[in-house]
Each structure stands twice: as structure tokens, then as C-alpha cells.
Structure 1
Amino acid sequence: MPSLEQTCGRGGSGQLSVPRLRRDTPERAGLDPEEIRRLVSEVHDLTSGSRPWAAGAVLVVGRGPYVAVEEAVGWAVRYASYDPETDEGVELPPDSRVAMTADTPFDLASLTKLFTSVAAVQQIERGTLGIDARVGAYLPDFRAAARHGITVRQLLTHTSGLRPELPLYDCADDAERLELLRAEAPVGVPGTHRYSDLNLLLLQHVLERITGRTLDVLIHDGITRPLGMTATHFGPCPGAAATEDQRRPWAKSDRGMLRGVVHDENAWALGGVAGHAGLFSTGHDLAVFCRALLCGGAYGPARVLGPDFVELLLSPPGLGFAVDQPWFMGELAGRGAAGHTGFTGTSLVLDPATDTFLVLLANTVHPRRRTPDSRPRAAAGTRVARAVREL
């Protein structure tokens, strides 16, 4: 595996000097142009036809400091609504649709968890948060978590035993939502993996308690502002790709066609800022995020984590990040690749072994949610893995 010095460079002072991303050819990036051409063609196919995988998508692939492809396909807004009688979207007239562009922001859904995890590891690096400390040490009023000895590491690795979610969207007010979280006890065996949004919601409360700042401020000040990720923020985000005509019974609330407001019902009930969902971002900004992690936490003049703490974040089983998961990474999995998916159709994968990243953002829930299908993500990961050339 290339060293940080080889892939990111060092300045004359010996400090890491990370070149900013720039667009260049696949060949310059050390990627096979034919595999990349096929990948772009396959992503175009995903948005075509009467029942496409997604209404639109943005694809960004890079290696080292080079962005080899940045492609937008399909529609950011294609449908006015969903018709349950025909089980099809009601198409907008062509002149009322909104084309996808490379700068279109997406509702990141669970990719938000990655930013919450980085914010937590920043506090671990500073010594204000213990990775194996009990949540009850920071949140004694969260009675069930304290009683069952849930730890910070368990929240970050989804091994707390907490159930996947709670119906916070059905609560009358914030006080009732908070009381549900405080009283929620594990239903699974602590130490065994059970993916749960509640882990990141509890972690949000821990971070806000120990810092005295809200999660949106922590992520902005500690991650997105220093990295220059100006298009990444919690909603509202009026220009974002549309998501769902959100109505019961297929959804958990009746909100109509959503665009620029968070899709996740619990994040919406919490005001749009939540540890598990709520961020909006673009393909380019996520490429910067990937590049910073591949370069040991630095990008340009900024550093958001030290290399040892990036290694802690990405080492199996991963803190917030999933590691080596073929179901959405394809053949990129197997050498320490890390990433995540989001319910709205978002995903990213970074591969430290080859200094390569893949961002595939799609609005797969437009006009309504369906059974998630990550086969196109896995196929994209396989294309990128096969494109990598020896440097």
C-alpha cells in the first residue's frame, strides 16, 4: 500500500502538504479509461427507462489528487407525485423538470453518520471523550444506557444492542422524544452487531453535552469549514435533488413530495439536525471528505484528524464506517475499503490500499421508496477496482 508521503506528499518543513483535488484524465489518475468509460455508461443506464433505479445520479471517481470522472445524469426533479393506483410516478412536463448537475446537493441520509463519527473521534483525539467510556458517565440522565453500561465504542460500532429506531416522529413534542431516548434499553446482546440509528442519536447527545455546542456547529467548525466543503450542511437545502412523495402507508408520515428538507422522519421530527441523518452535500464535497481521510486527515492547509486517529476510525470493524462490505463496495472490498450508504440512494467508498475513492449519489426514493437495491453500487465498486492500475 502506498505511504502517506507517496500519495499526499510532504512540504519542505516535513509537514504533510496535501494537494487539492483537480480534474484530469483517468490515465493520469492511474485508472483504466475503458473501465471508467463503461462505468459512466452503466450509470447513465441506471437513470433511463420508465422505472429507473434512480431518477438521477452524480458519479465522482478519483485516485490520489485527481478526479478522473465527475458525471451528472438524469433528473434532480422528475416527478410531481406518486400514484399508488398505477404504482408509478406522475411525470412533470419536460419544461418543469430539473436536470441533475454535478453541483446538485443530495440528502445524504445515513452518510451523516460518518460526519458524526469523525466529530466523535476528534473529541477522542482531544482527550475529552473516552472511546471505552460508558455513555452514562456523560449522560447520567439517559437512565437505560447508563444502567446497561453502553459504551462510546459500542455506539460507534453498532454493538450497543439498541433497536434500529424509535417512532420519534409520532411524539407530541421534543420533551416526549427525549424521554423515549432516555428510557430506551438494549433489546439485543451488547457486543453483537445490530445496526441502529439510535446509536448515533445517543452519540449526538454525548457530543453536545461534553462540548456545549450543537452537532451542526461541531460538524461545520470541525470538518466542513476547514476542508472547504461549502456545499455541505444540514437543511433546509432548496436546490437539492428531490426525494419522496412521503405518505402513509409506505412512509411513516404524510409530508408530500420532498425537496430540500430531510427525508428521514425522525431527523425531520428532531428539527433536521440529527446524528444519523440530516446533512446535504454534493459529489465534489464528498470527494474532498474522502481525499482528506485518505491523506491521514488533512486536505490543503487544513487538518481535521491526526493519521493515527484516521486509522482508528477506518480500522475494522470501523467507527461509524462500514469496512470491506461487498454488498455495496463490490470488488473494492477486501483490502480495508471503508464507506457507507444512505437510504435516499447515496453512497461513498474510499480504498486506502489504492488511494482511490468512489462517490455515487442518486435519488432512488424519487418518487417513492422501494426495497433498497445496492447491486448497482456494488457493480460500480467492481468497475473502479478493476480500473486501478499499478503505479
Structure 2
Amino acid sequence: MRLTVAAICLVASSGTLCCATDRVLKHGSPESVGLLAQPLHQLPPNLTQYTHPANYGSASHNEVHPIQPGGTVVIGHQSTIVSSFAFGNASLYADSNGTLLPAHEWIPAKMDTIYDMASLTKVFTAVAVLRAIDEGKLSLDKSVASYIPDFAINGKDNITVLMLLTHTSGFPPDPLPGLYDPSYTTMQQRVDAIIKHELVDAPGSTYTYSDLNFMNLRFLVEKVTNTPFDEYVHLYTSELGMTSTFFNKGNNQSPSFHYFARMAPTEYQIEVLGDSEPQRPQPVRGTVHDENAWALNGVSGHAGLFSTAGDVAIFCQMILNNGTYGGTKILKPETVDLMFTNFNTAFPGNEHSVGFELNQSYFSGPMANLLAGGHTGFTGTTLVVDRASDTFMVMLAHRVHANRNWSSNNIIREAVGYWVARSLGRDVAFP
């Protein structure tokens, strides 16, 4: 874990694939970039079947439920969008038990539907950290406490920036109590709870996926850039032309909110989890589903971003372009290499780079390999960027509408990887 940045870059650059660095996305047929068309034609009806209630085995917890009500998908290969479609519905249910809304109130999923990205936010946070590194304001090897002295409390003085990024800091999965607990009466109390939180393991000794890591990265970025986190992220997403990507700072839940009509509702949280949940209109719509991000005024490093599949596709292509898109340089090529370098060799099965999980079949299916980086979000979102085949896969969805306990949508994530692998001519088994 104590690699120097120079050593990291040397290791990472040895695996860099040479691609044109200023490729802009365009639409084209699968055949135009050497793919088989039929598998991609089969993708929309295959995913649509999962919107119907059925017993999908472990995916629906052996009960009759839909996996998700709908979603939006964009597949890109060699800077060409070869498949893009919406399926199912964005709004469908009247309660957490699955009572359907009157048919005239259903809202179909569309290409411009805005989804709660949940933990896909972490990838955008990682890019914010990498930009601060490129600006000379951060170092992966330095301790977090060297930037935020209060972070050293409770034995955290030796935790590095890299440990936060790779979930090897020793933090528990979530802050305890949750930041929305009534015991917190001010925002500063919530901030202090994050920065001063106790560990459950020795730093560097184990891998534990923790939202606390990325909550702290938000404060780290703000400290070294002297810029509010949401604004710092917006600086680069706006440069990329991602016009529908934002934090809902202030938790604006009014139907008059500029983006509200396009935002997919998520969960009837209070029905599902009880009155301890944040008190807000149900189903949750417009404000972030994640309760801790909501308690942080809608802005955090672990969750809070909203976006469309088309915007996320641009982000993915920027990474495949080694940090540049449309003439705009977001990251240095050697910095992008860090997103495809496995720093968790000590923890097999939990391969992780700066920002990406690597080689994970549960969301990549047969596309999984050490150069396939990606992430998932609790709401049902997924992105995969595969350097090996110059391909990306984006699926934004809201499987938590109307109830988080209905299903896991990993079965759909794997199915996307299967059909894309088939389009690449690979002989793979359906997950």
C-alpha cells in the first residue's frame, strides 16, 4: 500500500492502451465498428422482461417481484454509441406494496430521464481527487491528517488518501448513528462525526467497502481546492457538456424544481423502513435517496449526484480517451492509468483502483477483467469502462422503486455484460 506516486504511475503506464485521445461520441451501427448486431438487438427485449413480476430466484429473494420498473442504457464501442434505449417505466407504483398507479399516471422511462446515481457518485469523487492531484494539491501517499488535522483523532493519523479511495482505511461501512438521526442538531455535528469517526480495523489490514471513506474525500477535496465540493465536480462535468448532471444542494423537493419533471422517483422509504426515515414527500423524488447524503444537504462524496445515461456515456468516453473529451482535458493520461491499476492485490476478489472496482463479474458479467473498471449504485445504477475492448456500458435504473427489499438487479447488470460480450463475438454463457 505504501507505493510512491512515481512508482504507481510507472506500474500503471505499463498497461496503458493507445487510443486516440480526442474522440467524441457519435451514433453508429454495431457493424460499423466490427460488432455483431444481433446480440445488441436482443438486449432491449431481454432487459424488458425483468420489469414484469415473476419469481427470479435469488434475484427477487425467491418471491414474485419485478427486478426493476425500467431503465436507460447506453453502450459504446470505439467512441461509437452502438445501442441506446429506454425500457419500462420511470414512475409506476402508488405504494411500497406494488399497487400500480392509474395507467394515465405512469411515466415511461426515456433517454433523458434523470436518475439518482447513488454510489456512482464515488467515481466522480475519485475524478475530483485525481484532478486535485494533477493540480499539485494532493498526493495519494500522504496522510489525510496532513491536510485535515482533526482526521487524526481515534488512531487515524496514518491513513493515506489512497486508503480512502481503495476502502482499506479500516472504517465501518456507514457512520453510526446515521447522520439523519435526531441526535444530530447541526450540520457541524454531522461533519465532525464523519471526520472523527472511529475505526473498526487497523488501517491497511482489510478491505471494507465504506461510505465514510468517500464522505471524508469530499471534505478533503474542499480543503485543498478551497471550493465547495458540488461546484468543483460541476466544473469538470460542465466542461464535458454534461448538462443534466448535478447535486440537488439544499434538497429541493418542489415540483417546480428545474429538473423535477424528468427525475425518476425512488422509494416509499417511510413505508418500508418506518418513521425513523427522513420526513419528506413519498415516494422520494427530486432529493437524494441515500439518507446520509440527504442529511448532508444533498451533497456528499459517496452519493448525491443525479444524471442521465447520455451524460454518463460522455464521462466514460473521457476515461477511454485517457482524460480528454472534445478538446477539453480533464485528467492527465498517466492519472487515468491510476483508475485501471489494482492497488488491492493483498485482498483477492476485492480488486480496486482509484475510483473503480476491477474485474467484478457481478456487475460486468462476462466483460469482467482487470482492465474493466466500474461501479454500481444502491438505487440500481451501473457503469463499466473496459479498456481492453474500448467499450463502455451504462445502465441507469431505480430498482428501489417502490421498495428496496424486492430485488437485487445484478441479474440485469450481468445480462448487459453478456449481450455486449456476444456482440464482440465472444462465446460466453448466459449468467
Q: Percent identity?
A: 40
Give the structure 1 partner of residue 322 of structure 2: 296
Deviation at 1:339, TM superposition (A): 0.5
The answer to whether the aligner puts 1:212 opposite 2:226 as a matched pair is yes
Give the structure 2 partner of residue 381 of structure 1: 417
Distance in 2, matches of 1:4 and 1:176, equals 46
Deviation at 1:248, TM superposition (A): 5.8
Give the structure 1 partner of residue 11 of structure 2: none
Deviation at 1:269, TM superposition (A): 0.4
Q: What SS does structure 2 have at the residue aligned with 1:360?
A: strand
Deviation at 1:217, TM superposition (A): 0.7
Question: In structure 2, do the counterparts of structure 1 residues 33 and 249 end up closer, same or farther at CA, with 3 Å as the change threshold?
Answer: closer
Q: What SS does structure 2 have at the residue aligned with 1:353?
A: coil
Deviation at 1:372, TM superposition (A): 2.9
Show CA shifts across 1:41-91 (max 9, x none).
Answer: 211112234732111111111101210111101111111222xxxxx2221
Q: What SS does structure 1 have at the residue aligned with 2:94?
A: strand
Distance in 2, matches of 1:146 and 1:30, equals 54
Q: What SS does structure 2 have at the residue aligned with 1:124?
A: helix
Question: In structure 2, do the counterparts of structure 1 residues 48 and 147 end up closer, same or farther at CA, with 3 Å as the change threshold?
Answer: closer
Give the structure 1 partner of residue 6 of structure 2: none
Give TM-score scaled by structure 2 length: 0.83
**8 A Cα contact 1:136 1:145, kept in partner:** no
Deviation at 1:165, TM superposition (A): 0.7
Distance in 2, matches of 1:218 and 1:130, equals 18
Give the structure 1 partner of residue 362 of structure 2: 327
**8 A Cα contact 1:58 1:361, kept in partner:** yes
**8 A Cα contact 2:380 2:400, kept in partner:** yes
Show CA shifts across 1:183-227 (max 9, x none).
Answer: 212102321211000000111111101111111111111x20111
Deviation at 1:169, TM superposition (A): 1.0
The answer to whether the aligner puts 1:169 opposite 2:180 as a matched pair is yes
**8 A Cα contact 2:27 2:82, kept in partner:** yes
Residue pairs, 1:137-152, within 5 angstroms:
137-144=146-153, 147-152=156-161
Deviation at 1:382, TM superposition (A): 2.1
Distance in 2, matches of 1:375 and 1:147, equals 38
Q: What SS does structure 2 have at the residue aligned with 1:350?
A: strand
Distance in 2, matches of 1:145 and 1:331, equals 42
Q: Which amino acid aligns with 2:390?
A: D
Question: In structure 2, do the counterparts of structure 1 residues 177 and 335 end up closer, same or farther at CA, with 3 Å as the change threshold?
Answer: closer
Residue pairs, 1:304-323, within 5 angstroms:
304-316=330-342, 317-323=352-358
**8 A Cα contact 2:151 2:196, kept in partner:** yes
1:59 to 61, 64, 73: 73
**8 A Cα contact 1:343 1:372, kept in partner:** no
Q: Which runs of 5+ in 1 are unaligned?
A: 9-15, 83-87
Deviation at 1:19, TM superposition (A): 3.0
Distance in 1, matches of 2:154 and 2:238, equals 33
Give the structure 1 partner of residue 256 of structure 2: none
The answer to whether the aligner puts 1:283 opposite 2:309 as a matched pair is yes
The answer to whether the aligner puts 1:188 opposite 2:201 as a matched pair is yes
Question: Which deviates more, 265-274 or 171-180?
Answer: 171-180
Aligned residues: 375
Give the structure 2 partner of residue 366 of structure 1: 401
